Amino acid sequence: MIDTEPHAGPRELTVALVQTDPGPDKAATVARAFEFVERAARAGAQLVTLPETFHYRGPNDGRRASAEPIPGPLSESLSRLAAKLGIHLLAGSYNELPGAGEEDQRTHNTSLLFGPDGALLGKYRKIHLFDVTIGEKLVARESARNQPGDRAVVAQTAFGAVGMTVCYDLRFPELYRALALAGARLLTVPSNFAERTGRDHWEVLLRARAIENGAFVIAPATIGNGGTDFNAYGRSMIVDPWGTVVACAPDAEGITLATLDLSRVDAVRASLPSLQHLRPTAYAVKQF
């Protein structure tokens, strides 16, 4: 469905971006992230967002050891934290163990969204995996350890429908268009974005996804390297439906707050109704 009706829920939403530098000590890294979540809630955030791999970043042999089933200890702790603080909590992403009977035993890179009562509102497994070689300094093979998800996810919340994505998904506009057409008014992009590409592409892509879909884009990100040779760009960001950057984190760990005027989605989609002007039957390419 295309969401063309004015939103009946709250008109404002205070969002916190949590920017962290995850390390190889999972317990310490998770504890640090939880401290930031509590600080954000005390500062008035109603939706607190964590970045991709907020639980662990380090050598590859530790990634499997850091993985958990869902539900599992970490998901239950996140649920309790959301309920204790009375917030919506986006658990950016972490490594999810596959079921015992699954043929493919690679982990999933999974994002969770919890409601203020601790209920799980959305579970999204990253669809697009970061397999790239850029020069000699950036070689990544996410598919060597993770298997891709196979479905897009829109979660229903009191403040509107949320389309869930993770990091490298940002380069695939088809996914975001599908989420917007399914009713998403906010798009989440928790990320561990490479510094090498982030300095040129991060803001451009976030603003493009917001403009194309007339939606808020909320992108909490990691910074630093967690003791690895992968440097994360940081610059956690929120972009409004017009493409204006309304919040950007400094180059350090911490929380960044912004209060969003949710009526901007209605206003922008009314003035630029591109979602209603799609002509998919005309997009078949003819060869001459």
Looking up residue 19, the CATH number of its domain turns out to be 3.60.110.10
With respect to residue 4, please indicate whether it lies within any of the assigned structural domains.
Answer: no
With respect to residue 94, please indicate whether it lies within any of the assigned structural domains.
Answer: yes
| Three-state DSSP state, 121 | strand
* Residue 284, both tokens: 């078949």
Q: What is the pLDDT of residue 103?
A: 81
With respect to residue 206, please indicate whether it lies within any of the assigned structural domains.
Answer: yes
CA atoms within 13 A on the CB side of 255: 23
With respect to residue 47, please indicate whether it lies within any of the assigned structural domains.
Answer: yes
**Beta strands 88-96 and 108-114, pairing class:** antiparallel
With respect to residue 103, please indicate whether it lies within any of the assigned structural domains.
Answer: yes
Distance CA 3, CA 82 (A): 28
Q: What residues in the chain have per-residue pLDDT under 70?
A: 1-8, 137
- 7 touches 185 (CB < 8 A): yes
Active-site amino acid positions: 52, 126, 167
With b for 16 or more beta-carbon neighbours within 10 A and e for fewer, the 153-167 pattern comes to bbbebebbbbbbbbb
Distance CA 267, CA 157 (A): 20
Q: What is the pLDDT of residue 102?
A: 82
With respect to residue 39, please indicate whether it lies within any of the assigned structural domains.
Answer: yes
Please provide the average confidence, as pLDDT, over all residues in the chain: 94
10 Å CB burial of residue 140 (0-12, 13-18, 19+) is middle
pTM score of the predicted model? 0.94
Q: Which domain holds residue 160?
A: 12-270
CA distances to 112, 277, 285 from 280, rounded to whole Å, are 31, 10, 11
Structural domains counted in the chain = 1
Give percent of the chain above pLDDT 70: 97
With respect to residue 197, please indicate whether it lies within any of the assigned structural domains.
Answer: yes
* Residue 72, both tokens: 């599992």
Q: What is the pLDDT of residue 85?
A: 98
With respect to residue 165, please indicate whether it lies within any of the assigned structural domains.
Answer: yes
